[in-house]
Structure 1
Amino acid sequence: MALLEIEAVSKAFGSLKAVDDVSFSVGAGEIFGIAGPNGSGKSTLFNIVTGIPFGPDRGRVRLDGTEIQARTGDAIARLGLARTFQRETSFDGLTVFENALIGAGFGKPGRPARVIREAAAEALDVVGLPDGAFGRLAGELSVYERKCLMLATAVAMQPRVLLLDEPASSLTKPEIEASIGLIRRIAARGVTIVLIEHVLTFLMTLSQHLLVLNNGRVLAAGAPEAVIADPRVVEAYLGTRRARP
């Protein structure tokens, strides 16, 4: 049984159909990639799946068989579905450790303070932020470190499914390589990952299944190698079909 199921979800803004009848499912423990040109509906899809800041106009979202599309974003997060954003988000006036504490406390309310602190420290360790960084203000971090902190805050929530929106954006090549290892470490902890990215090599390296959106609709889905070779995908990215041999 799929852990995350998206069934015929749609979202329109006036006459613009940002997401149009999109369906797919993600198995437990999978890394599932989503690609598509700018404006294809990728981030809007994450918004309606997580309820942040809005749900779908129609369609169903199921987490482990439970429909969640009518729930609020905070309720969905506490059920085990967390996300990160394209831009690095943090409480810049708080320390690295305090940011992680917020995620740990929010994800599992009612836990003892000691357990929350342990979860925060463990999450920071997973993403590679050392003890020496715990007392630094989040606003003082580099772009890559801020991305790591955003991931740590999400991991500290102990989600079952983690949605990552363009984690490689604005990173250098060495930082992208480090991010690949980081995401694999998170997945190795039993977290199911759904990943949006423009860097196709990043998606190809990590994803077990790949879905491509175009104009809000599913253009292709399946094994990454087959999807990338699909002439429709080539046309969507390059604007022209490959010449026949």
Structure 2
Amino acid sequence: MALLELDGVSKAFGSLKAVDGVSFQVQAGEIFGVAGPNGSGKSTLFNVITGIPFGPDKGRIRFDGTDIHRKSGNDIARLGLARTFQRETSFDGLTVFENAVIGAGYGGPARKSVAVREAAAEALEFVGLGPAQFGRLAGELSVFDRKCLMLATAIAMEPRMLLLDEPASSLTKPEIETSIGLIRRIAGRGITIVLIEHVLTFLMSLSQHLLVLNQGTVLAAGDPKTVISDPRVVEAYLGTRRPDA
């Protein structure tokens, strides 16, 4: 059984169909990539899956066999589905540790305060934000460290699946390489990953399956090398460039 299943999922804003009849499955343990040009509906897709800030208008979404398309974002998180965002999101006036504690307390299983704090500390150290960083204000961090904090906050929720929305955005080449390694280590913890990314080398180096959206619909899906060579994908996502250019 697939861990995540979408069947005919749609979301419209007035006459604009941001997500239009999208169906796919994500198997437990895989890294599943989502690509597409700007405005293709990728982030809206993550929104409707997680219920943050809204669910779908139509269609069915199942997580580990449970229908979640009518559940709240909090209920979905407690089932084990977490996400990050395009922009580095944090409570800038709180410390690094306080941000991670909020994540640990928001999602995942109900835990006592000591367990929440332990989960937060472990997640921070896992992403490279050790105890020396715990007391820093989140707003003082670099872009890369803010992204790491966002990851740690999600990991502290102890999710079974993590949706990552453009984690390589605004990073330098060395930071991108570090992020690739970090995402592989997250997958090594048994967390299934669904990944949106515009940096093609990043996406191709990680994804075991690839889905391409265009104007809210599925343009192609399957093996990443096969999908990215599809003439329709080259036209919609890469323009006139070759996929390996």
TM-score where L is the length of structure 2: 0.96
How many residue pairs match? The answer is 242
Show the 5 A alignment for 1:21-100: 21-100=21-100
Q: Could you tell me which amino acid in structure 2 is paired with residue 14 of structure 1?
A: G
Note closer, same or farther for the CA distance 1:109–1:192 as it changes in structure 2 (3 Å cut). closer
> Are positions 1:127 and 2:127 aligned together?
yes
In structure 2, what is the Cα distance between the partners aligned to 1:224 and 1:84? 23
Secondary structure of the 1:18 match is strand
In structure 2, what is the Cα distance between the partners aligned to 1:218 and 1:187? 25
In structure 1, what is the Cα distance between the partners aligned to 2:108 and 2:238? 45
In structure 1, what is the Cα distance between the partners aligned to 2:158 and 2:95? 20
Task: Give the match for residue 168 of structure 2.
Answer: 168
Q: Could you tell me which amino acid in structure 2 is paired with residue 77 of structure 1?
A: A
Render the CA deviation track for 1:183-234: whole Å, top value 9, x for unaligned: 1111110100000000111010000000000010000000000001000000
1:40 touches 1:215 (CA, 8 Å); kept in 2?
A: yes
Q: Could you tell me which amino acid in structure 1 is paired with residue 187 of structure 2?
A: A
Q: Could you tell me which amino acid in structure 2 is paired with residue 118 of structure 1?
A: E
Note closer, same or farther for the CA distance 1:110–1:78 as it changes in structure 2 (3 Å cut). closer
Secondary structure of the 2:144 match is helix
Task: Give the match for residue 2 of structure 1.
Answer: 2
Secondary structure of the 2:168 match is coil
Task: Give the match for residue 233 of structure 2.
Answer: 233
Secondary structure of the 1:61 match is strand
Task: Quote the offset at 1:116 in angstroms.
Answer: 1.1
Unmatched 5+ stretches in structure 2: none
Secondary structure of the 2:170 match is coil
Show the 5 A alignment for 1:69-218: 69-108=69-108, 110-218=110-218
In structure 1, what is the Cα distance between the partners aligned to 2:105 and 2:12? 34
In structure 2, what is the Cα distance between the partners aligned to 1:73 and 1:119? 21
In structure 1, what is the Cα distance between the partners aligned to 2:114 and 2:77? 22
Q: Could you tell me which amino acid in structure 1 is paired with residue 103 of structure 2?
A: G
Render the CA deviation track for 1:6-52: whole Å, top value 9, x for unaligned: 11100111111111110110011110000000000000000111111
In structure 1, what is the Cα distance between the partners aligned to 2:237 and 2:152? 32
TM-align CA RMSD: 1.1
In structure 1, what is the Cα distance between the partners aligned to 2:236 and 2:108? 42
Task: Quote the offset at 1:128 in angstroms.
Answer: 1.1
Task: Quote the offset at 1:113 in angstroms.
Answer: 1.9
TM-score where L is the length of structure 1: 0.96
Q: Could you tell me which amino acid in structure 1 is paired with residue 222 of structure 2?
A: G
Report the identity percentage: 80
Render the CA deviation track for 1:131-159: whole Å, top value 9, x for unaligned: 11011000000000000000000000001
Give the ranges of 4+ consecutive aligned residues of structure 1 lying more than 2 Å apart after TM superposition: 237-242
Secondary structure of the 1:94 match is coil
